[in-house]
Structure 1
Amino acid sequence: MPSLLGALRRRLLAPSLASVGFAGRGFPVAATAATSRLEMVPQSVVCGFEWGIEDPPLWEAERRLDMVEPMFRGFAYEGATMAYTLLDVMPGRRRDRTRELLLGPGREHVFLAYIGIGFAMARLPRPLWKKVLPDLTGVPYHPTMSWLAVDGYGFDRAYFDTRKWVDEQHVPEPYPWAGAPEYFQRAVDQGLGRALWFIHAAGPTAVAEAVNRFPETRRPDLWSGVGLAATFAGGCDRDGLAELRRSAGEYSDELALGVVFAIKARTYASFVPRHSRIAALVLADLGPERAVRIADSTVVGEDHTGPEPAYELWRQRIREHFGPAQKRLAG
C-alpha cells in the first residue's frame, strides 16, 4: 500500500490517462484500433510514473512494472524513472532512487530510462538539471546515450506544449549538457521528431508535412526521431511505412539511423516486437541482427575527447551505412 505522502504526490503530480491521450491533447487524430494502441504508449508512461512517485520499495516497483506486457514495459520504466528523478532532486535524505533503479531492474530499459529523465527535466527549473543524471558507471553506453535525456525533454515539450514547440517552432536556449551546449538544440529536435509521430498518430503523410514545415537545417534530426518512433512504438502498416520512406527522400539515411537506434534499444531490452521488425525492413532494408551489428560496430568509446559529442559521432558512423548525410550536413 502507498504511504499517505506517496498517494498525495501521485494525486498532485500524475496526469490522468485521458489527459495524455490524443483526444485529451487535442491532436487531429481519428479514433481507431491502431491509434488507441499507439496512445497506450504515453498512458503506460503515466502508469509507471504513478507507481514510481509513490516511492515504494524497489522490489515492489519492479513487480508492478514487470506486470506490464513486454511491448509497453519499457515505457512504464520511462515513467518510473521520471518519478524517481523528481524524487531525487526534491528535499529529503535520499538521492539514489534513479541510480538504484537503473543499476537494477531498469538496466535493460536504460535507453528509455534516459528519456524519462528528460521528462523530469521538463518539470524542473534549469538550475536543477545538473542533479538529474545519476552515476551509472559500468552501465553500457553511459554517459554517451545520456543525450537521450535531452531527446526526452524535446519530446515532452512538443507533446505537451505543441503550439509553442511545433506550430511556432520554438528554439530553446542552449544548455551545456555533457559540456556541449551547441548540440543541445539538435538533441531536442530528435525528441521533437519522435513527438511528431505521436501528435499525428503515425500518419505518414501528416508526419512528413509536419517535418517539412521546419527549416531545412532542423529536418535531419527530426527525421531521425521519426524513424526511431516509427520503429520502436509502431502504429503504421507496411504501406504506410513505405510511404514514409518515400516522403523522407534525401533524409532516408536519417530515418534509417532512427531505425538502428530503435532496434538496438528493443534488443537490449530482450524484446523486438513484430512491428519493429517490419519497420526495420521497410524503412532501412534491415533485419534486427544486422541493425544491431551496425550499432555495435560503430559505437564510440567512453574515452572519446573530440570536439563533438561521442553520441553524435556514433550517429554519424551509423549514417554512413545508408547515405550521403555527411556531404549534405557539411554543405
Structure 2
Amino acid sequence: MVSWTGHIRRIGLTPSANQALLRKRGFPERDPHAKACLEMAGGSFIEGFGVAAQSSTAVEATGTLARIDGVRRGFAVEGAAMAMAIRDALPLGHRHHVADLLEAADEHIYMIHVGVGWSFARLPRPLRRAAARGLTDPTLTWLALDGYGFHQAFFHTDKYVKRQYIDPDPPLPTHHHPGYAPHAIDQGIGRALWFVAGADPHRALRLIEAFAPQRHEDLFAGIGLAATYAGGASADELEELAERAGRHRPALAQGSVFAAEARTRAHIAQPHTEAAVRAITGLGVTEAAAIATRSRPSGHTVDGQVSFEVWRRRIMLRWATDSKSPLPGTDRVKEGS
C-alpha cells in the first residue's frame, strides 16, 4: 500500500504525461510506428518517475518496475533514477536513494546513471552534488552528463539544437577532467536529436550537419544509441544512415554497441534491437554487447585520458576489427587515444 507521503511525492514531483508527446514538443510525427516508439519511451520514463517518487524504498520501486514489460522497462528505470536523485537532493528523508537503486537494479546500471543526469537540469546548482552522491563508478559517471544533455535538447530544443548552445559552466558529477563535459553532454544531445527528428534518419543527419564539425562525432554516437535503444526506423533506413555517416560511422556504431550492452545486461533486448544493431554495426546484439564488456576500463583515467572516452575509442577500434569495416576514419581510431 502506498503511503500518503508517497502520494504527495508522486503528485508534487512527477511531470505531466503530455510532456512526452511529440506534438507537445513540436517534433515531427512522421508515421504511426515512429510516433509510438518515441512517445512510448517518454511515457515510460514518466511512469517510472512516478513509481520511484511514491515508493518507500528502492527495493519496493524495483519490484514495481520489474513488472513493466521489457520494451518499456529501461526507460521507466531511467525515470525512476531521476526521481531518486531528486529525493537525495531534497532535505527530507535519507540521502542514499540512488545508491540503493543501483544495488537493487544493478542490471540497469547504465540507465540509472543517465536518469540521474536528468535531475541536474531540474535542481538548483547547490543541490546537484547531493543528487549525484550515489554515483561512484568513475567511468559510468559521465553518463549522467549524457542524461543532462538529452534533457536540455529535448526540453530546450531551440536553444540547444537550433542555436547549438554550449553550456559555459556545465554541471559536473565528477571533478576529474572537466574539459570532457561538453563531449559527454553532446552525446546526450545526439540521443535527443533522434527524438527531435521524429526517428527520421534523413532529418537527423540534417540536424547534425548544422552543428560545428568538431561536435559531429559525439552527436553521431548519441544518434546510434537512441536509434538502437528506442527504435522507430526500419533496418533499411538505418543501413542508409550508417552509410551516410561516412567517417563518423565508428562513432555511430559505438552508440549502437552501448545500446546493445544496456539492453542485453538488463535482459530486455527486443527484435528491433537486433535489427538495429545489425543494420548499424553488421554484428548481432550478443557480439556487440561483448565488445562493450570486453573494452570497459576502470579508474578515472587511462594514461591520463578520461576512462569513458578510452572506452568509446576501444569500442570503435574493436568494432572496426570485428566487422572488418573498410570505412574511412576507422584507421584513425586508436585504442586508448
- How do residues 70-149 of structure 1 correspond to structure 2 at under 5 angstroms? 70-104=70-104, 106-135=105-134, 142-149=137-144
Alpha-carbon distance in structure 1 between the residues aligned to 2:291 and 2:50: 37
* Residue pair 2:98, 2:134 contacting (<8 A) in 1 also: no
Alpha-carbon distance in structure 1 between the residues aligned to 2:247 and 2:93: 52
Aligned residue number for residue 212 of structure 2: 215
- How do residues 158-307 of structure 1 correspond to structure 2 at under 5 angstroms? 158-175=153-170, 176-178=172-174, 179-302=176-299, 304-307=301-304
Aligned residue number for residue 68 of structure 1: 68
Alpha-carbon distance in structure 2 between the residues aligned to 1:303 and 1:8: 39
Q: CA deviation at 1:264?
A: 1.1
Aligned residue number for residue 52 of structure 1: 52
Please give the secondary structure, in 2, of the residue aligned with 1:122. helix
* Residue pair 1:241, 1:282 contacting (<8 A) in 2 also: yes
Please give the secondary structure, in 1, of the residue aligned with 2:238. helix
Aligned residue number for residue 33 of structure 1: 33
* Residue pair 2:201, 2:237 contacting (<8 A) in 1 also: yes
Taking only the aligned residue pairs, the percentage that are identical comes to 37
Aligned residue number for residue 332 of structure 2: 327
* Residue pair 1:52, 1:84 contacting (<8 A) in 2 also: yes
| Number of corresponding residues | 324
When normalised by structure 2's length, the TM-score is 0.90
Unpaired runs of at least 5, structure 1: none
2:246 aligned partner, one-letter code = G
* Residue pair 1:254, 1:325 contacting (<8 A) in 2 also: no
Unpaired runs of at least 5, structure 2: 321-326
Alpha-carbon distance in structure 2 between the residues aligned to 1:76 and 1:96: 19
Alpha-carbon distance in structure 2 between the residues aligned to 1:151 and 1:285: 25
Q: CA deviation at 1:59?
A: 4.1
How far does the alpha carbon of each residue in 1:52-88 deviate from its partner, in whole angstroms, 9 at most, with x for none?
A: 1124334432232122101111111111111011011
Please give the secondary structure, in 1, of the residue aligned with 2:94. coil
Please give the secondary structure, in 2, of the residue aligned with 1:218. helix
2:167 aligned partner, one-letter code = P
* Residue pair 1:194, 1:225 contacting (<8 A) in 2 also: yes
* Residue pair 1:46, 1:79 contacting (<8 A) in 2 also: yes
Q: CA deviation at 1:326?
A: 7.3
How far does the alpha carbon of each residue in 1:8-35 deviate from its partner, in whole angstroms, 9 at most, with x for none?
A: 3322322222221111111122451331
Q: CA deviation at 1:222?
A: 0.1
Alpha-carbon distance in structure 1 between the residues aligned to 2:18 and 2:235: 29
Please give the secondary structure, in 2, of the residue aligned with 1:320. helix
* Residue pair 2:148, 2:185 contacting (<8 A) in 1 also: yes
Q: CA deviation at 1:325?
A: 5.3
2:81 aligned partner, one-letter code = T
Q: CA deviation at 1:262?
A: 0.9
Q: CA deviation at 1:115?
A: 0.8
Aligned alpha-carbon RMSD (Å): 2.0
Alpha-carbon distance in structure 2 between the residues aligned to 1:227 and 1:315: 13
How far does the alpha carbon of each residue in 1:200-253 deviate from its partner, in whole angstroms, 9 at most, with x for none?
A: 121010011111110100000000000011111111111111221122122111
Aligned residue number for residue 155 of structure 1: 150
* Residue pair 1:228, 1:262 contacting (<8 A) in 2 also: yes
* Residue pair 1:177, 1:184 contacting (<8 A) in 2 also: no
Compared with structure 1, are the counterparts of its residues 184 and 68 closer, same or farther at alpha carbon in structure 2 (3 Å cutoff)?
same
Alpha-carbon distance in structure 1 between the residues aligned to 2:135 and 2:281: 32
Alpha-carbon distance in structure 2 between the residues aligned to 1:128 and 1:292: 35
